Structure 1
Amino acid sequence: MKTIFNHLENQIEGTETLPEGIVQLNEGTERIFTLMKNRPSLVIWLIWIVITGVDLIIRLIGAIPLASFPAILVNFAGGVAISQFLFFHFLPRVFLKKKWLLEFVQLILILVVYMLAKYFILMPGLVDVPSIRAFFGNEATRFFHFSVYIIVIWFFYIDGKRQELHKKMEVEHLRLETEHKSSQLSQHFVLNWISTFLIEVKNVSPDLAHKLSKFTEVLSYSYKDPNHPNSLGQEIRVVKSYLESQQFRFKEKLNLKFSINLRGIDPGEFQLPKWILMTLVENVFKHGNCLNSLHPCLISMDMFPAEYKGYSFAISISNDLNRADPVRPSGFGVKTVRRILNYYFQDRFQLFTAKSEAEFNLFLQIHYGQNHASV
């Protein structure tokens, strides 16, 4: 489990060693946190043993009369039992399952029953019996104190379990990622083979080789690492190659009108996360019908100087809806695009969609400020 001491250690690592005292303190703290995470019940018992021991020592040093053994036993056993209830039942259900009302009612009933039983069992043996009101006040104060300890331990415990689960998920993700990569062809093999095939095709049919090169460009772009810098110009170029590939696929059946106006502006100077425009355009073919001779699919792109400093890019899409069996969502659609744009552009984009029974419309505008080299 991470602690604040690791942060200090990482900052000065490689420059000087930590003082021996800090190293020991760090190791001791880690052991305590590990014990809280792995053996929370034992920690609760130890806390009550320490509290009881400190209370006895104080009474012996201060010559304060000791309570009877039954009273000490009831206090100790009752405190441990209620602490276990708080830790393993009350706190998880309140904070994790949001069962506030029911759990608070249960806790109050348990405390009232415990305090009443304690009062009527132990008080008759005392010379000066306190009023039930004073007794309940003292017991409520006692309960508040040890509740603080239990809550602190529980939050350390949950944080430790969360980090442990996160670590397991990371390991599982790496395992799945490795298995996924090992189960697919290498991108270098695929692209190199297509390039070799392209050379052979070019000798037979230059036009067919040109069409194959457009598909190869889309395929190569799909393999690109999304963490690498990507430009609006690259995205636009791949969209054009994708549409040309679809034209070759559907021939004269495809009813698509595509227009682009960059007004002499170089889109390669503007950054855009990979596959943003491609997702929107691909959805036209995935969820729409571009083979309707009476309703063409319309895709237009425009780049223009903004009224305020910088430039704006806009894409507009309109398509007839495919009323056949719906396509299963891929998980990467307009909602995901919106989240990605919101992360990179915050309030510098607008994305609108409208859907009727027969038609889907989308409009996206991104504003690039003066510093448009990065998103």
Structure 2
Amino acid sequence: MALVPAIIGAYLLMQFGIEKLVNPFRDVPREFNPDKIWFLRATWRCFYFLSFSTAYWFLRQTIKNQKRINQMELEGLQAEREKAELEKGLVRSQNALLQAQISPHLLFNTLNFIYNSVQDVSPKASEGVLLLSEVMHYALQRVHEDGKTDLQYEVEHIEKYIALNQLRFSYPLHLQMKCSGRLQGKIPPLLLLTFVENTFKHGDLTDPTQTACISVANQQDTLHFSTSNKKRKHHGGRGYGIGIQNAKTRLREFYDEQDYTLTIDEDEQRHAVHLKIKLT
């Protein structure tokens, strides 16, 4: 409100100046002496334009505020929908968790029954059932809140997986596993097993002159993991691509680029993996 007198004064001065400026250019210049009527008319005209411009400004602000309110309401509805979807997802996850808790319980009880039933009949079969039970127990329960597992459990799981595969075949599998350093730290569960599974699935482990090798080492809080094996000439599998691609995806999800390196070396005869991860 304090600006209104100033605006009116500025408008009157502007009108006075325009009249003085334009008057000499008229065909018949007229004498200009501002009187009370001129001031009233100019003031009224100023109020008219001021009211019109103020109304226009308020209209624009109202439209702008209404758009903002509509946008906020739209975002609120979107947030409500997302919240509803999250709640539905939570319910589904809770149901899946209950099912997952029931299924392993049934599985372990069944494996325990089979183990007790065949222990006296076939020690080899009972050993296989026991190893399978321990492998399944690790895969389902050895995970921390951050989604990782202890490195030592991962190594133990690999050793049991190797022993389980040794029991499956009547002929010996030529594979060596070496571990060095203190196996401490955490890694994504079953990550290393992906490469070990590829070794069993696609590697030729029957040639004693080209033994497959698995190496796990912890050097200065850095995991050094490698596999090397002779390629199987003919196999029904789809190759190394899918398993390794899944491993690469998991590495990107858990680590920054500077925290790990993965190198794949292969030719027509051999396949080798070299993985290095900073342990936490």
TM-score band, normalised by the shorter chain? 0.5 to 0.7
Q: Find 1:363's aligned residue among 252, 274, 279.
A: 274
Q: Find 1:161's aligned residue among 70, 78, 81.
A: 78
Q: Deviations over 1:67-111 (max 9, x none)?
A: xxxxxxxxxxxxxxxxxxxxxxxxxxxxxxxxxxxxxxxxxxxxx
Q: Find 1:333's aligned residue among 223, 246, 249.
A: 246
Q: Deviations over 1:324-356 (max 9, x none)?
A: 46389689921332134317xx74322234566
The unaligned stretches of length 5 or more in structure 2 are 1-44
1:331 and 1:300 mapped to 2: Cα distance?
16
Relative to 1, partners in 2 of residues 1:188 and 1:323: Cα closer, same or farther, differing over 3 Å? closer
Asked if 1:303 corresponds to 2:220, the answer is: no
Other structure's SS at 1:336 match: helix
Relative to 1, partners in 2 of residues 1:281 and 1:141: Cα closer, same or farther, differing over 3 Å? farther
The normalised TM-score by structure 2 is 0.60
Shift of 1:365: 1.2
Other structure's SS at 1:189 match: helix
Residue type of the partner of 2:252? Answer: R
Shift of 1:197: 2.7
Larger Rg: 2
Relative to 1, partners in 2 of residues 1:156 and 1:210: Cα closer, same or farther, differing over 3 Å? same
Q: Deviations over 1:235-287 (max 9, x none)?
A: 10001111221222244385x5232122xx342x32233222223323445xx
For these two proteins, the number of residue pairs brought into alignment is 227
**Partner residue, 1:252:** 171
**Partner residue, 1:275:** 190
Relative to 1, partners in 2 of residues 1:337 and 1:181: Cα closer, same or farther, differing over 3 Å? same
Structure 2 counterparts to residues 90-239 of structure 1, below 5 A: 146-147=63-64, 149-151=66-68, 153-175=70-92, 178=95, 181-182=98-99, 186-224=103-141, 226-227=143-144, 230-239=149-158
Residue type of the partner of 1:203? Answer: D
Relative to 1, partners in 2 of residues 1:341 and 1:353: Cα closer, same or farther, differing over 3 Å? farther
Contact (CA 8 Å) 2:228, 2:273: kept in 1 or not?
yes
**Partner residue, 2:262:** 351
Residue type of the partner of 2:261? Answer: Q
Shift of 1:143: 5.3
1:367 and 1:330 mapped to 2: Cα distance?
22
1:173 and 1:296 mapped to 2: Cα distance?
51
Q: Find 1:316's aligned residue among 202, 206, 226.
A: 226
Contact (CA 8 Å) 1:299, 1:315: kept in 2 or not?
no
Shift of 1:297: 8.0
Residue type of the partner of 1:351? Answer: L
The normalised TM-score by structure 1 is 0.47
Shift of 1:218: 0.6
1:193 and 1:304 mapped to 2: Cα distance?
37
Residue type of the partner of 1:312? Answer: T
Root mean square deviation, CA, Å: 4.4
1:155 and 1:357 mapped to 2: Cα distance?
61
Contact (CA 8 Å) 1:341, 1:349: kept in 2 or not?
no
1:331 and 1:140 mapped to 2: Cα distance?
63
1:148 and 1:357 mapped to 2: Cα distance?
69
Relative to 1, partners in 2 of residues 1:219 and 1:172: Cα closer, same or farther, differing over 3 Å? same
1:299 and 1:167 mapped to 2: Cα distance?
51
Shift of 1:178: 1.5
1:341 and 1:161 mapped to 2: Cα distance?
30
Q: Deviations over 1:183-228 (max 9, x none)?
A: 9963122213322332343323334332332221111112216345
Contact (CA 8 Å) 1:338, 1:351: kept in 2 or not?
no
**Partner residue, 2:38:** none
Residue type of the partner of 2:167? Answer: F
Other structure's SS at 2:250 match: helix
2:227 and 2:60 mapped to 1: Cα distance?
64
